[in-house]
């Protein structure tokens, strides 16, 4: 049994989100050191604001300013802050009901240790030095024993409102592909493609996942497939991906390797993007030293007859 692989994997992408009128006012307010909530029909003030009443589902547009001071309603100590969290030193995650609000906002509370935090303690906003219209404009909360600050009654109208944010998403974890895909990856290192056959329906899965999704039984019989295959369907990519050094437009295709009963995907190169077609015969171009094919290129064979791959489209 070959070694089951394991590797660090980071999935990272910027998520661009438009805000709508309520979140736009909330985040623009933070940029201007104003905390806004919304008032529901029955008079409750919700902070952070939402666009629809959680009880009646009615649309809410009535913005109301609340104070930058408040009370901790509950909390948990974070003794090991992780990358991207509001503070780099240990802190409390706290639910904080700002003065004038009926609901609590989740944020970081900077305190010397858990003994310094308790439910009911008074806190205030510590504003970030540079504010851009994001929740991080509140750097954190800090203990506060001064007077209740009265809100100034801001209407929520701003010049140059923030209308969108880019939220960086990042998943950082250790990935183990399991037995079947480890065997697949070990074979790729030798420039071979290995799938697994279902003992029940006899389909050959590439890449193998270790079980047949149709029959629900484990697969174990290894079958070498390809390396040539047929383009079953494709798309032309016109949007350049961040950190991906491929000129657009390019073609990404479903490719049924010879002997496989499932198409895998790969990039097609070595042919103008507008000449790629269903039925095109392709072969992998291996990176130096083996591994996942960099792309597939035409073999020069006649196109495959549709009848031979129609079940794989």
Q: Which two tokens stand for residue 116?
A: 């310094």
CB of 105 to Zn ion, least distance (A): 51
Where are the extended beta strands (E) located within 20-68?
A: 35-39, 45-46, 63-66
Cβ nearer to Zn ion, comparing 200 with 308: 200
Beta carbon nearer to Zn ion, 218 or 235: 218
Q: Of the two residues 87 and 215, which places its CB atom closer to Zn ion in the complex?
A: 215
CB 209 → Zn ion: shortest distance, Å?
12
Residue 257, classed as helix, strand or coil, is strand
Distance CA 9, CA 71 (A): 40
**Which is it for the CA torsion 130, 134, 138, 140, positive or negative?**
negative
Q: How far is CA 80 from CA 83, 85, 86, in A?
A: 10, 10, 12
Q: Which is nearer to Zn ion, 176 or 214 (CB)?
A: 214
CB of 163 to Zn ion, least distance (A): 50
Query: CA-CA distance, 84 to 276, in Å (whole number)?
Result: 43
Question: Which lies closer to Zn ion via its Cβ, residue 63 or residue 198?
Answer: 198
Minimum CB–partner distance for residue 260 and Zn ion (Å)? 14
Structure tokens at 309: 């791959």
Distance separating alpha carbons of residues 224 and 83, to the nearest angstrom: 43
Residue 198 Cβ vs Zn ion, minimum distance, rounded to whole Å: 3
Structure tokens at 169: 């998403």
The residue ranges that bind Zn ion (CB under 5 A) are: 198, 200-201, 212, 214-215
């Amino acid at each position: 049994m070959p070694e089951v692989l394991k590797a660090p994997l980071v999935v990272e992408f910027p998520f661009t989100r438009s805000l709508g009128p309520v979140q736009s006012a909330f985040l623009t307010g933070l940029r201007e050191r104003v905390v806004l909530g919304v008032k529901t029909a029955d008079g409750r003030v919700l902070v952070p604001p939402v666009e629809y009443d959680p009880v009646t589902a009615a649309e809410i547009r009535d913005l109301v300013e609340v104070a930058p001071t408040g009370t901790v309603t509950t909390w948990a100590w974070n003794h090991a802050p992780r990358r991207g969290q509001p503070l780099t030193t240990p802190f409390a995650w706290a639910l904080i009901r700002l003065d004038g609000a009926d609901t609590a906002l989740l944020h970081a509370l900077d305190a010397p240790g858990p003994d310094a935090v308790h439910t009911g303690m008074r806190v205030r906003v510590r504003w970030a030095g540079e504010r851009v219209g994001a929740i991080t404009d509140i750097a954190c909360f800090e203990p506060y024993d001064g007077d209740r600050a009265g809100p100034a009654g801001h209407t929520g109208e701003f010049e140059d409102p923030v209308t969108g944010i880019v939220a960086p998403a990042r998943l950082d974890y250790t990935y183990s592909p399991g037995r079947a895909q480890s065997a697949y990856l070990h074979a790729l290192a030798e420039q071979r493609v290995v799938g697994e056959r279902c003992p029940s329906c006899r389909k050959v899965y590439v890449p193998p996942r270790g079980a047949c999704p149709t029959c629900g039984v484990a697969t174990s019989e290894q079958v070498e497939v390809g390396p040539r295959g047929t383009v079953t369907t494709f798309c032309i990519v016109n949007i350049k991906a961040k950190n991906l050094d491929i000129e657009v437009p390019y073609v990404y295709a479903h490719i049924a390797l010879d002997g496989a009963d499932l198409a895998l995907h790969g990039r097609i190169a070595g042919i103008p993007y507008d000449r790629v077609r269903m039925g095109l015969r392709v072969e992998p171009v291996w990176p130096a030293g083996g591994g996942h094919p960099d792309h597939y290129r035409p073999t020069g064979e006649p196109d495959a007859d549709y009848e031979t791959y129609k079940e794989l489209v």
